[in-house]
Amino acid sequence: MTTRYRLGGLSRLDTTLMAAGAVLLALLLVLPLVASPLVVDKLTLLMIYVLLAVSWNLLAGFAGLVSVGQQTFVGLSGYFVLRLVEAGIAPLPALAAGSAAVLVVAWPLSWIVLRLRAAEFAVAMWVIAETIRSLVMFDPLVQGETGRSLMTLNAMDADLRRTIVLLAAVLAVSVALVTSYRLLRGRLGGESQAIRDDEEAAGSIGIDTLRVKRTIFLVSALGCTVAGSLWLASAITYQPRTAFGINWSVFMLFMVLVGGLGSFTGPVIGALLLFAIQEVFGDYGSWYLAGLGVVAILFALYAPGGVVGLITGRSLREPLSMRKTLVAPRG
């Protein structure tokens, strides 16, 4: 007689966490009504961090693709928005269209870079970020190092703009969390984790590795571009050196590594931690950034599972786990 195994479902903790997350995001939606402008701006930044961390974790944690060049998409979306606004499109639609336009670059790019070996992929993405930055700086609109402000957005009522940007950010984070959850829980999640653990073996059991990696790459790029547009909408000034800066990658690495690489809740926790650390130590400037690097190294060496790994330990009862567990029928 054969035993019929089935895939494990959600635990009590998982559903509680999901409900709590939904309530929190809903609260953030009504917050602009009561909160001060400073709080709204900070929360927008937090949302941008969550979005970046979730996107980077999709790539590194679930598909095993470490990229040091995701700032390509952050910077490029800002540039596209700038160009669209210059072409006479209203700022808010331009922010949305700019994010989508980046996929036109990301798609052909994925055909090339995903064929590279792991470490090469990381640095090649960085070179691509630098290449695109130099190209963008050729555009007189950007004014080289000086950068340019999104004038039309500045002309909007400041409070209204803040509220809209926060709402858009909360919406983007909700969509990102739900989409990545559904993607990873489904077939793609299993396939991508198989690729991360052993690409050759995954290919040999019939997984179209390139297609899976490309899907993840594009979804992750989209997350970064939306984050880039949101960041431009809240910062208003666009400077190529900041927008394409390597610091984005350092932040993403920090959030994901400290939160928990390859776990669903990890990047959110990491984003909260980065945000908190920045609030407390941000004034120390370069020493603060150096500290981030050191903490990231320590986590990589001594707690590669991040905070989530430290909490759950070896019990394998990770909250909202994307692991496929088999459950034997009762009796």
Partner 1 sequence: MPDAFLPELLQPLVQALVQGTLLGGYYAIMAVGLSLMVGVVRFINLAHGDMAVLGALLVITLTQGLGLPIFAAILIMLPVMALAGYGMHALLFERAMRGGFLLPILVTIGLGAALQNSMFGLWGSNTRSLGADIGALSWASWTLPGGVLVGQLPVLVCLCAVLVIGSLHLVLRHTRLGRAIKATSTDAEAAELCGVDARRARRAASAIAVGLAALAGVFLAMRGQITPYSGPAQLIFAFEAVVIGGLGSVWGTLVGGIVLGISQSLGGLVSNQASLLTGHLVFLAVLLLRLFREWTAAHGGWRASVRAWTTLHRGRFARRKGEKA
Q: Give contact residues for partner 1 (rule: CB under 8 A).
A: 60, 64, 66, 68, 112, 115-116, 118-120, 122-124, 126-128, 130-131, 134-135, 137-138, 144, 246, 249-250, 253-254, 257, 261, 286-297, 300-301, 304
CB count within 10 Å of CB 266 equals: 28
Minimum distance from CB of 172 to partner 1 (Å)?
Answer: 26
Contact 271, 46 (CB under 8 A): yes
If the CB atoms of residues 131 and 204 are measured against partner 1, the closer one turns out to be 131
Minimum distance from CB of 278 to partner 1 (Å)?
Answer: 14
**What's at 4, amino acid-wise?**
R
| b/e per residue 117-155 (b: at least 16 CB within 10 A) | eeeebbebbbebbeebbeebbeeeebeeeebbebeebee
Q: Is the dihedral of CA 309, 313, 315, 319 positive or negative?
A: negative
**What's at 201, amino acid-wise?**
A
Strand runs labelled E in 230-290: 237-238
Torsion-angle region of residue 207: left (phi > 0), alpha (psi -120 to 50) or beta?
beta
Minimum distance from CB of 71 to partner 1 (Å)?
Answer: 12
If the CB atoms of residues 87 and 138 are measured against partner 1, the closer one turns out to be 138
If the CB atoms of residues 93 and 293 are measured against partner 1, the closer one turns out to be 293
Contact 125, 249 (CB under 8 A): no
Minimum distance from CB of 250 to partner 1 (Å)?
Answer: 5
CA distance 57 to 181: 12
Helix (H) or strand (E) holding 326: strand 326-327
Minimum distance from CB of 41 to partner 1 (Å)?
Answer: 25
**How many CA atoms within 13 Å lie on the side-chain side of 63?**
30
Name the DSSP letter for residue 60: I
Residue 6 backbone phi and psi in degrees, to 5? -135, 165
Minimum distance from CB of 322 to partner 1 (Å)?
Answer: 16
If the CB atoms of residues 123 and 236 are measured against partner 1, the closer one turns out to be 123
If the CB atoms of residues 94 and 292 are measured against partner 1, the closer one turns out to be 292
Minimum distance from CB of 138 to partner 1 (Å)?
Answer: 7
If the CB atoms of residues 78 and 262 are measured against partner 1, the closer one turns out to be 262
Look up residue 189 and give its two tokens.
């999640």
If the CB atoms of residues 32 and 69 are measured against partner 1, the closer one turns out to be 69
